[in-house]
Amino acid sequence: MQWTLVVPVKPLARAKSRLSDTADDGVRPGLALAFALDTVTAALACPAVADVAVVTDDPRAGRELAALGAAIVRDEPRGGLNAALAHAATVVRSARPGRPVATLNADLPALRPAELARVLGEAAQFPRSFLADAAAIGTTVLAAAPGQALRPAFGPDSRARHRASGAAELRLDAVDSVRQDVDTGDDLRAALALGVGPHTAAAAALLAGRDPVPGQ
């Protein structure tokens, strides 16, 4: 079974505000884009992934992610993350009604294609399922089988929200790269320890040259 992944990318100027203790306003947009580029590159290399659709209104992000091979879906609802994901899922399913769809966070710079394949393989056993993030509070993957509504419920404590919605929680070991999203300086250090993709590595090196990540 091959999946279509929907990856949401917020306008870069507003992205990653919680990294303000680590990266200033001039650095965060480039860092957020680097995360997305490495995430989409790894996702496209995953054997369980047929294609990736990025939902974004950011021109630079759309241009650079399209160059990697991602389809770009405009955030027409402009009603927040869940509305954007539901809209993008509808768009991709209109072209591929028989294919399963999953959302994937755009801030997984250490993503490993083989680990993502394990997650999607497990997700194929359920009508709807999700993978909790490394903090065990949020969600990094939400998956829906063909014919099943995605029903995204991202926001504070999305792990509990998705569980309450009836989605099965995927309980897998050794998929750290799929769980390690980056919202804070601590998250960035954890991702760097796992080993990030080339775009994030370059952005982090630039960041370290300007203002070292606290604790390093």
- Each residue's pLDDT tens digit, 91-146: 999 999 999 999 999 999 999 999 999 999 999 999 999 999 999 999 999 999 99
3-state secondary structure 70-93: CEEECCCCCCCHHHHHHHHHHHHH
Q: Kindly state the DSSP code that residue 199 receives in the 8-state scheme.
A: H
pLDDT at 212 over 60: no
Scan for tokens 């480039």, then name that residue: 30
Read off the pLDDT band of 21 (50, 70, 90). confident
Q: Identity (one letter) of the amino acid at 62?
A: G
Distances from the Cα of 133 to the Cαs of 55, 73, 180, in angstroms? 21, 25, 6
Q: Which residues of 105-126 are buried (b: 16+ CB within 10 A; e: fewer)?
A: bbbbbbbbbebbbbbbebbbeb
pLDDT at 214 over 70: no
Residue 208's pLDDT is: 74
194-197: list long-range contacts, CB under 8 Å, 24+ apart: 194/110, 195/110, 196/38, 196/109, 196/110, 197/34, 197/37, 197/38, 197/39, 197/41, 197/42, 197/109, 197/110, 197/111
Residue 216's pLDDT is: 39
The pTM for the full model equals 0.94
Residue 69's pLDDT is: 98
| Mean pLDDT along residues 39-65 | 98
- Helix, coil or strand: residue 48: coil
Residues 107, 121: Cα–Cα separation, whole Å: 21
Read off the pLDDT band of 6 (50, 70, 90). very high
Residues 113, 129: Cα–Cα separation, whole Å: 19
Strand partners, 129: 143, 168
Q: Identity (one letter) of the amino acid at 31?
A: L
Residue 79's pLDDT is: 96
pLDDT at 215 over 70: no
* 139-144 vs 168-169, strand pairing mode: unpaired
pLDDT at 211 over 50: no
Residue 207's pLDDT is: 82
pLDDT at 210 over 70: no
Residue 1's pLDDT is: 85
Cβ 19 vs Cβ 188: under 8 Å: yes
Instruction: Tell me the pLDDT tens digit for each residue of 58-100.
Output: 999 999 999 999 999 999 999 999 999 999 999 999 999 999 9
